[in-house]
């Protein structure tokens, strides 16, 4: 038992995904603060003033908010998988710097002369980009090492265990060090799952944990569990080894729910209770919807004359397009969008595919999601929310619920203009891709809160600016 006490002491130095995100956020905040100081110092040197004189005479109050804006623009970089790659880090920093410059130029050209400090903002953007790149590379160098990784055994080499191993093999850098698997099937003894060995059975579990210095066990058995395995897991947990389930690890790593591995009664046994939001959240979400809906409708009023004229010139009437969609609890409503396609038929009188009917202005609107601006009217009516699963037509829901497990569970909440699935996955063209997108939707429904909603809104801005719409 001496090892387990050591394991309990050493595991505190090994970091989970949530802990890594906190470290990244703290480091980014420190670098953004240093960038602000560097920008002020360089700016004051250029004007030949002391820091105190410069601070009192030149720096507007909003300038001190630049570090916060910088952190918001880098919200995409708190994906642990992306944070562990140098190439993704450079792309993320470059994107944040580019968006910062575009936003600044937009504000600069619409502001009164000599009211926006060009030099100070430029110094901040350059300093923040360099310092954050340095910190993120330092993070990769230090924290993406075995010393900071949990040593994990997967309990169960069946479908669930194999699925988790396949997920891990596709992830780089890996979230933890996988030692191997444990399974009671004598036919599997001495074999491998995707290159990882099956090291023993339930009676040998504690010995294997000791021999391989495992710090965590992931329970991945979907069927019945024998008493020996249950007792071995209890002894391991009592001795300082942490036991988690495959489903929770899958959700934490991918931000999705593993629908292919869940039992048919999962919706009633766990999901409904987990997905039931408290009244305070529902109130806050509705207030956010009303505020966002009012801003959206105001923007729509300003843009409709220009967009409407362009649509009329290119393809005529109508400007708007409505279609029946299913809302919360399967109630149907009419969604409102700017029209992005024209009616066009082939020689046999059949309607052409969507890609052949798309107008030029429609392509641009879809890439920037401008065609969805009229949906803010649906949000104000209470038929939709700013954030939720994508609204689908009744026929498509009926068709997909017979092919994709738990598909109708999306109707437990209001559909949204944007959502967790939309910012994490592109357009679903196949049943398999639809299943992956549903995993994201169910994860959102199960874990939704105002902080997650805020993150989705920020990531949606990045999608719009990056022209990644469908």
Instruction: Write out pLDDT tens, residues 75-90.
Output: 888 887 778 888 888 9
Run of H or E residues at 7: helix 2-10
- Separation CA 77–CA 75 (nearest Å): 5
Q: Which residue has the higher pLDDT, 233 or 354?
A: 233
Nearest to residue 205, comparing CAs of 234, 175, 163? 234
- Separation CA 210–CA 36 (nearest Å): 49
- Separation CA 467–CA 461 (nearest Å): 10
Q: CA dihedral in degrees (81, 82, 85, 88; nearest 10)?
A: 160
With beta carbons less than 8 A apart as the criterion, state whether 370 and 303 touch.
yes
Note the Cα 117 to chain centre separation in Å: 34
- Separation CA 161–CA 155 (nearest Å): 7
The pTM (predicted TM-score) of the whole model is: 0.79
- Separation CA 225–CA 205 (nearest Å): 14
Question: Own/partner pairs for 50-58, CB < 8 Å, 24+ apart?
Answer: 58/117, 58/120
- Separation CA 278–CA 414 (nearest Å): 15
Query: What DSSP designation does 430 have?
Result: S
- Separation CA 444–CA 257 (nearest Å): 9
pLDDT digits (tens, 9 = 90+) for 201-211: 999 999 999 99
Q: What does the pLDDT read at residue 98?
A: 85
Q: Which residue has the higher pLDDT, 267 or 55?
A: 267
Q: What does the pLDDT read at residue 110?
A: 64
- What region does 48 belong to: left with phi over 0, alpha with psi -120 to 50, or beta? left
Q: What are phi and psi of 192, to 5 degrees?
A: -125, 155
Q: What does the pLDDT read at residue 206?
A: 92
Pairing mode, strands 151-155 and 177-182: parallel
Give the distance between the most distant pair of CA atoms in the chain: 80
Nearest to residue 107, comparing CAs of 93, 121, 94, 97? 121
Burial class (CB in 10 A: 0-12, 13-18, 19+), 441: buried
Q: Is the pLDDT of residue 199 over 60?
A: yes
* 3.65.10.10, 3.40.50.720, 3.40.50.980, 3.40.50.620: CATH of 150-254: 3.40.50.720
Angle at 194 between CA 188 and CA 195, to 5 degrees: 85
- Separation CA 252–CA 259 (nearest Å): 15
- 421 by DSSP, 3-state: which? helix
Q: What does the pLDDT read at residue 79?
A: 80
- Please give the share of the chain, as a percent, with pLDDT higher than 70: 85
| CB-CB neighbours of 454 under 10 Å | 14
With beta carbons less than 8 A apart as the criterion, state whether 432 and 328 touch.
no
pLDDT digits (tens, 9 = 90+) for 390-444: 999 988 888 898 889 889 889 999 999 999 999 888 778 788 899 999 999 999 9
Give the pLDDT band of residue 3 (cuts 50, 70, 90): very low
- Separation CA 456–CA 416 (nearest Å): 11
Q: What does the pLDDT read at residue 24?
A: 93
Residue 440 tokens, joined:
């994201």
Domains of the chain, residue spans: 17-143, 150-254, 279-465
Q: What does the pLDDT read at residue 128?
A: 95
Q: What does the pLDDT read at residue 263?
A: 76
- DSSP string across 342-411: ---B-TTSPBPPHHHHB-HHHHHHHHHTGGGTTHHHHHHHTS-EEESSPP--HHHHHHHTTTSTTGGGGG
Across residues 246-271, what is the average pLDDT? 82
Run of H or E residues at 18: helix 17-46
With beta carbons less than 8 A apart as the criterion, state whether 225 and 163 touch.
no
**Which of these ranges, 17-31, 268-282, 344-358, has the smallest mean pLDDT?**
344-358
Q: What are phi and psi of 196, to 5 degrees?
A: -100, 130
- Please give the share of the chain, as a percent, with pLDDT higher than 90: 39
């Amino acid at each position: 038992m001496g090892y387990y006490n050591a394991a309990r002491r050493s595991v505190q130095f090994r970091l989970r995904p949530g802990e890594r995100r906190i470290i990244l956020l703290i480091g980014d905040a420190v670098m953004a603060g240093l960038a602000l100081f560097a920008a002020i110092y360089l700016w004051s040197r250029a004007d030949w003033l002391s820091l105190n004189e410069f601070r009192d005479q030149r720096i507007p109050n909003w300038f001190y908010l630049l570090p916060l804006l910088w952190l918001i623009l880098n919200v995409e970089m708190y994906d642990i998988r992306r944070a562990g790659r140098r190439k993704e880090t450079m792309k993320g920093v470059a994107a944040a710097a580019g968006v910062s410059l575009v936003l600044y130029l937009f504000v600069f050209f619409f502001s009164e002369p000599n009211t926006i400090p060009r030099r100070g903002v430029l110094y901040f953007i350059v300093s923040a980009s360099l310092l954050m790149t340095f910190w993120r590379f330092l993070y990769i160098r230090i924290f993406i090492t075995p010393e900071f990784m949990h040593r994990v055994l997967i309990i169960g080499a069946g479908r669930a265990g194999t699925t988790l191993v396949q997920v891990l093999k596709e992830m780089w850098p890996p979230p933890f060090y996988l030692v191997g698997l444990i399974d009671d099937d004598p036919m599997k003894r001495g074999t491998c799952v995707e290159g990882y060995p099956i090291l023993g059975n339930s009676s040998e579990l504690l010995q294997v944990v000791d021999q391989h210095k495992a710090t965590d066990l992931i329970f991945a058995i979907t069927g019945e569990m024998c008493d020996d395995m249950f007792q071995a897991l209890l002894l391991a947990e009592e001795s300082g080894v942490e036991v988690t389930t495959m489903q929770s690890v899958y959700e934490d790593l991918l931000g999705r729910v593993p629908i292919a591995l869940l039992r048919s009664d999962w919706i009633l046994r766990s999901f409904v209770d987990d997905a039931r939001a408290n009244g305070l959240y529902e109130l806050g979400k509705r207030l956010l919807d009303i505020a966002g809906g009012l801003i959206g409708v105001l923007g729509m009023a300003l843009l409709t004359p220009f967009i409407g004229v362009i649509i009329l010139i290119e393809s005529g009437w109508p400007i708007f397009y409505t279609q029946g969609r299913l809302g919360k609890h399967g109630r149907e409503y009419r969604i409102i969008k700017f029209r992005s396609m024209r009616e066009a038929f082939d020689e046999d009188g059949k309607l052409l595919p969507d890609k052949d009917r798309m107008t030029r202005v429609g392509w641009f609107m879809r890439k920037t999601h401008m065609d969805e601006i009229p949906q803010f009217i649906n949000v104000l009516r209470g038929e939709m929310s700013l954030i939720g699963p994508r609204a689908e037509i009744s026929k498509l829901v009926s068709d997909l619920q017979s092919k994709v497990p738990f598909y109708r569970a999306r109707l437990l909440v209001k559909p949204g203009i944007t959502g967790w699935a939309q910012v994490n996955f592109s357009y679903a063209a196949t049943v398999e891709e639809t299943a992956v997108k549903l995993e994201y939707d169910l994860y959102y429904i199960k874990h939704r809160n105002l902080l997650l909603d805020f993150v989705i809104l920020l990531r949606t801005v990045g999608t719009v600016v990056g022209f990644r719409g469908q």
